[in-house]
């Protein structure tokens, strides 16, 4: 099992020498890479430190980006190999959330105007 465990040394991923080292790193360090919330949507990227890749994959998947809608059961997740990929994915997801939120607001505003025209 220890061969699936990793720690971060700064921004460099290293194999943990043993389960105790991995447990200590996880207890003493903040595994959250990025965290953002916009209204009721949360985007969180973390270093999981454990390889969740299929055995056929050459490189471990050590980072996870989650998207939650607060007070809903919806969650979406994606895994990446490197810190750089994780940060890029987080920025991309966050940008998409912002873009879609803006589009939804514009559409809602147009719908309110349409309804108000029918009332007046």
CA 22, 29, 15, 78 torsion-angle sign? positive
* pTM for the full predicted model: 0.79
Note whether 5 and 17 are within 8 A (CB).
Answer: no
Domains of the chain: which residue ranges?
A: 2-119
Quote the CA–CA distance of 108 and 83 in Å, as a whole number. Answer: 37
Strand partners, 66: 44, 77
Per-residue pLDDT of the chain (120 residues; tens, 9 = 90+): 567 899 999 899 999 999 999 999 999 999 999 999 988 888 999 999 998 776 667 888 899 998 888 777 667 788 889 999 999 999 998 888 888 887 777 787 887 887 777 776
């Amino acid at each position: 099992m220890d061969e699936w465990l990793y720690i971060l040394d700064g921004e460099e991923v290293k194999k943990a020498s043993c389960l105790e080292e991995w447990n200590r790193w996880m207890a003493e360090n903040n595994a959250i890479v990025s965290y953002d919330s916009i209204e009721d949507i949360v985007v969180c990227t973390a270093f999981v430190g454990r390889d969740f890749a299929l055995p056929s994959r050459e490189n471990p998947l050590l980072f996870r980006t989650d998207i939650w809608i607060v007070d809903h059961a919806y969650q979406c997740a994606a895994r990446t190999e490197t810190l750089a990929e994780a940060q890029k994915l987080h920025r991309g997801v966050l940008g998409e959330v912002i873009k879609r939120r803006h589009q939804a607001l514009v559409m809602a505003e147009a719908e309110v105007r349409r309804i108000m025209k029918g009332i007046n």
